[in-house]
Amino acid sequence: MTARQRPWRTLGVLVGIGLVVAVGVMVASVHHAIDELPLSDASVIREQAAAKHLDPALIAAVIYAETKFEPRTSSAGAEGLMQIEPETAEFLAKLSGGYSFTTSDLGTPKINVAYGSYYLRYLLDHYEGNEMLAIAAYNAGLANVDKWAAQARAEGGELTVATIPFPETRAYVQRVLEAQKEYRATYARQLGLS
């Protein structure tokens, strides 16, 4: 081999090594993302999805975005897997015909997911099935999303993920929609989708 041929061979070897490393990183990233996609209380999610006519992957995705299935109390006082604020839970209890509610109930996964699912159904009905708007309202509140949607319509358009004014809500909606796809693909059997 001549000195002139060596650089090309070296370049070919380096490109080959680079491709192997890149593919390895991509595979590791996919496995890493799937490993970090938790699921618990699948039977509760399936039950509430059926009762409220919801996509169980959507419920799982909201739980993932809110708590990654590790219930806690937020700095705003929201509690449980789906991070329900006590005031919202009281509103939902009255709306659904419930007669008693205690804040400690929100720590019980079955009750928390029932309230969160009821609220998702309420938001989906309010937004005529538009999941993006319902998810945005779950995070930013109904009044904010109504205002944003009305402003977008007044300007001749519609509210999209990219035009959500709050960066936190925009990121939240993207996270939920992506997680929903991942839950459908990864946990179809556990969520009763297959």
48-102 pLDDT, tens digit per residue, is 999 999 999 999 999 999 999 999 899 889 999 999 999 999 888 888 887 677 8
Are residues 72 and 149 both part of a single domain? Answer: yes
Which amino acid is residue 184, in one-letter code? R
Domain membership flag for residue 53: yes
Are residues 77 and 14 both part of a single domain? Answer: no
Q: Which residues partner with 79 through β-bridges? A: 84
Are residues 65 and 145 both part of a single domain? Answer: yes
Are residues 27 and 59 both part of a single domain? Answer: no
Question: What is the tally of structural domains in the chain?
Answer: 2
Are residues 29 and 67 both part of a single domain? Answer: no
Domain membership flag for residue 191: no
C-alpha distances (whole Å) from 132 to each of 43, 59, 75, 96, 161 are 25, 13, 25, 24, 7
pLDDT number for residue 36: 85
pLDDT number for residue 6: 53
> What confidence tens digit (pLDDT) does each residue in 147-185 have?
999 999 999 999 999 999 999 999 999 999 999 999 999
pLDDT number for residue 26: 39
Domain membership flag for residue 180: yes
Contacts of 46 by beta carbon, 8 Å cutoff, 6+ apart:
56, 191, 192
List the domain range (segments joined by +) for residue 20: 1-36
Element (H, E) at 186: helix 167-186
**Active site residue: 66, 79, 131, 182, which one?**
66
pLDDT for residue 194 is more than 90 = no
Domain membership flag for residue 194: no
Helical spans, DSSP H, in 53-127: 56-67, 86-95, 109-126
The overall average pLDDT reported for the chain is 86
For the chain, the C-alpha Rg in angstroms (whole number) is: 22
Quick one: pLDDT band at residue 15, thresholds 50, 70, 90? very low
Is position 36 annotated as part of the catalytic site? no
Are residues 80 and 129 both part of a single domain? Answer: yes
Domain membership flag for residue 4: yes
pLDDT number for residue 105: 87
Q: How far apart are CA 105 and CA 60, in angstroms?
A: 20
Give the CATH number of the domain where residue 111 resides: 1.10.530.10
Are residues 12 and 81 both part of a single domain? Answer: no
Are residues 55 and 27 both part of a single domain? Answer: no
Are residues 20 and 92 both part of a single domain? Answer: no
Which residue, among 171, 104, 118, has the nearest Cα to 140 in the 3D structure?
171
Domain membership flag for residue 193: no
pLDDT number for residue 1: 57
Are residues 6 and 59 both part of a single domain? Answer: no
Are residues 6 and 57 both part of a single domain? Answer: no
pLDDT for residue 21 is more than 50 = no
Mean pLDDT of 6-12: 48
Are residues 15 and 109 both part of a single domain? Answer: no
